Amino acid sequence: MGLDVRELGPRDRSNSSDKNYSYEGRCMVCNGNMQYFFSKNFDSWGLTSLDYEKCDDCGFAVCATLLRMSDKDWETLNNRFHTEIYQGTEDPYNRAGRLAGQAAAIDIMLEHGLITQGLPLLDWGSGTGDLAAELLERERHMFSYDEYITPLVNRFSGIPQPESFSLVTAAAVFEHLKDRAELDAIERLVAPQGVLGVHLLIPREIPADPSWIYYCLCIVLFTIGKACADC
Ligand SMILES: [Zn+2]
């Protein structure tokens, strides 16, 4: 990824920005106290050391430095990061495998009537629309919606309305959101009796390994056991 992954270092708040500050050290799952967890040195892409914090009560963890970043800087960082990791032919995070698995699961849910086909399906944070493309090969239709990238496959035009979709998927999305309100807004799109499909990594324990995938840039939220259950 081109990151200078070195070590877990001492706390350094020199990156912190008060612009557009919204994170106030409260857990967005249980409203408990967030406590300093550790710092990681990056020394790349204009960032030096990032601080991570963890909830005293439920174990929910966040990258506090990224949460305090201005919206503009956050968007710029995301664009650079995602452009870099998905360019070329490499697939370092098995994205193709995950998409195939998600499409197969949705196909099975439709086949068995777990998802009603009377309302549309929506992939929130779809990127260019790769999940919709996978489903097209199975003769299933899903809309693609992304606030930063224009989907090339089955683009949903307009703003998705609450309770309008029998399935809303958010794959590898929640860990990039900065605000609980964003999570709740996605959930509200699901119709009564509909399904919210979330795909993210939920480890039993947070590894003490600075090269762990969720310690890369642009991951702001990660969670374990109790925090997930409380969610
Ligand atoms: Zn908590």
> How far apart are the C-alpha atoms of 40 and 15, rounded to whole Å?
12
The label of the residue with tokens 């509200």 reads: 188
What's the first-to-final CA gap in the chain, in angstroms? 31
How far does residue 88's CA lie from ligand 1's centre (Å)? 39
Residues whose Cβ atom is located within 5 A of ion ligand 1: 27, 29-30, 32, 55, 57-58, 60
Structural domains in the chain plus CATH codes? 8-89+202-230 (no CATH), 95-199 (3.40.50.150)
Q: What are the pLDDT digits (tens) for 75-104?
A: 787 777 766 666 666 776 777 888 999 999
Q: CA-CA distances (angstroms) from residue 49 to 93, 115, 144, 174, 208?
A: 24, 44, 35, 23, 16
How far does residue 225's CA lie from ligand 1's centre (Å)? 11
How far does residue 59's CA lie from ligand 1's centre (Å)? 6
Asked if pLDDT for residue 174 goes beyond 60, the answer is yes
How far does residue 13's CA lie from ligand 1's centre (Å)? 22
How far does residue 227's CA lie from ligand 1's centre (Å)? 6
How far does residue 32's CA lie from ligand 1's centre (Å)? 5
> How far apart are the C-alpha atoms of 6 and 4, rounded to whole Å?
6
Q: What are the pLDDT digits (tens) for 92-136?
A: 677 788 899 999 999 999 999 999 879 999 999 998 899 999 999
Asked whether 95 and 85 are in contact (CB, 8 A), the reply is no
Q: Closest Cα partner for 219 from 81, 84, 46, 38?
A: 81
Asked if pLDDT for residue 228 goes beyond 60, the answer is no
Question: Would the pTM count as exceeding 0.85?
Answer: no
Output the CA angle 72-188-214, nearest 5 degrees: 50
